[in-house]
Amino acid sequence: AQKITQTQPGMFVQEKEAVTLDCTYDTSDPSYGLFWYKQPSSGEMIFLIYQGSYDQQNATEGRYSLNFQKARKSANLVISASQLGDSAMYFCAMRETPNTGANSKLTFGKGITLSVRP
Amino acid sequence: NAGVTQTPKFQVLKTGQSMTLQCAQDMNHEYMSWYRQDPGMGLRLIHYSVGAGITDQGEVPNGYNVSRSTTEDFPLRLLSAAPSQTSVYFCASRDSYYYGYTFGSGTRLTVV
C-alpha cells in the first residue's frame, strides 16, 4: 500500500489565484512529519513547508500553508496568490520516526505538476 | 558554502560499466541517503546511513552498493550498470536534531 498518495496528475491555476494540492498518507506511527517539496524544471529539490504530527496548528510559510487534517490523514498544500514561478512539480513526503532520531527515512509521493497560467 | 555536493552532474555509461556517484556534506550530518527519481514514480530510497560505518537498504537497493567511512562522504556505486538504472539520483542529509533535509543538486545518469 502506498504510504503517500498524490492522485492529481496535473493542476492548472490562473495567476494570482489560490490552489490546493492534495496529499493523503498512511501510517500507524503516532509520531511523524510531513513535508512538501517543490521541483522546478531546473531539477533541484526545494523545501517548502513542514508539519509535525503533534503540531496543534497548521504550518504556514509565506504564501504556503499546509491544511493538516490528522483524522483524515491528509496534508494538502495551499498556495495563495499563485505566481508564474510556482509552475513546477510538487512532492509530498513523510518521515515516520521520531524527530530526534538518526533513522530518518523519507517516503515520497509520486508528485503533482502545477502549471500557472498568466 | 555549506550543503550537499554531488558529482558528477551528468554521466553517460555503457551497459556493464561501473562508476561511483559522489556525495559530500560539510554540515556534520549523521544521516545521509540516496534516492533515485524516475518519471511518474517520485523519489525512491536506495540506501541510507545513520552514521560512519552504518548503512542499510532502502526501497530499491538492487544493483547499488554504498559505504560510509567518514561522516562527510556517502558514495553510491554501480558495479555493472544496466539501462534500468537510467535515472536522476539525489543525495540528501539530515541532522538528528532538526527536521529538515538538505538535498544535493542531483546527478543525471544515462545507461546505454
DSSP per-residue codes, B58-112: -SS-TTEEE--SSSSB--EEESS--GGG-EEEEEEEE-TTSS-EEE---EEEEE-
Q: CA–CA separation, B7 vs B24, rounded Å?
A: 9
Contact B50 A50 (CB under 8 A): no
- The neighbour count for residue A72, using CB atoms within 10 Å, is 9
Chain A residue with Cα closest to B29: A102
The pLDDT tens digits along chain B (112 residues) read 679 999 999 999 999 999 999 999 999 999 999 999 998 889 999 999 989 999 999 999 999 999 999 999 999 999 999 999 999 999 999 987 777 899 999 999 999 9
For chain B, give the number of residues. Answer: 112
Q: A112: distance to nearest CA of chain B, Å?
A: 9
Q: CA–CA separation, B13 vs B18, rounded Å?
A: 8
Chain A residues with CB inside 8 Å of B42's CB? Answer: 4, 6, 91, 108-111
A94 touches chain B (CB under 8 A): no
